Amino acid sequence: AQSVTQLDSQVPVFEEAPVELRCNYSSSVSVYLFWYVQYPNQGLQLLLKYLSGSTLVKGINGFEAEFNKSQTSFHLRKPSVHISDTAEYFCAVSRAGTASKLTFGTGTRLQVTL
């Protein structure tokens, strides 16, 4: 079984500042890792995924994440946030070979202010 820990429930940040949302996972088997964003009253949108290969993955809307196997982490970063990035962000893991049966973290609320 897999588990995901998102260390921060809320992250306040000023517009144009950099941000990092932290995610750690636990698994006894190889995994795929994902970051999703959820805007109010909407479903989840995939930001980026790590399957294998390069540990730095780039996603949509200027987000990127780095897979660190030794620290079992997959932190999400953006060098300069915008007001429109205000949303809930979820880290998720699946067993390698499938994207279904995702295990999600509890989410991080990113609040961007002027």
Partner 1 sequence: KAGVTQTPRYLIKTRGQQVTLSCSPISGHRSVSWYQQTPGQGLQFLFEYFSETQRNKGNFPGRFSGRQFSNSRSEMNVSTLELGDSALYLCASESTGNSYEQYFGPGTRLTVT
Nearer to partner 1, 83 or 99 (CB): 99
Return the residues of window 60-99 that contact partner 1 according to CB under 8 A.
90, 92, 94, 98-99
- In whole angstroms, how close is the CB of 55 to partner 1 at the nearest point? 17
When asked if residue 101 is in the footprint of partner 1 (CB under 8 A), the reply is yes
Residue 37 CA from chain centroid, whole number: 8
Contacts of 70 (CB under 8 A, 6+ apart): none
72 torsion bin: left (phi>0), alpha (psi -120 to 50), beta (else): left
- In whole angstroms, how close is the CB of 17 to partner 1 at the nearest point? 27
- Vertex 104 angle, CA 106 and 38, to 5°: 70
Kindly state the tokens that stand for 83: 């007001």
When asked if residue 100 is in the footprint of partner 1 (CB under 8 A), the reply is yes
Nearer to partner 1, 46 or 56 (CB): 46
- Which of 15, 27, 44, 64 binds partner 1 (CB under 8 A)? It is 44
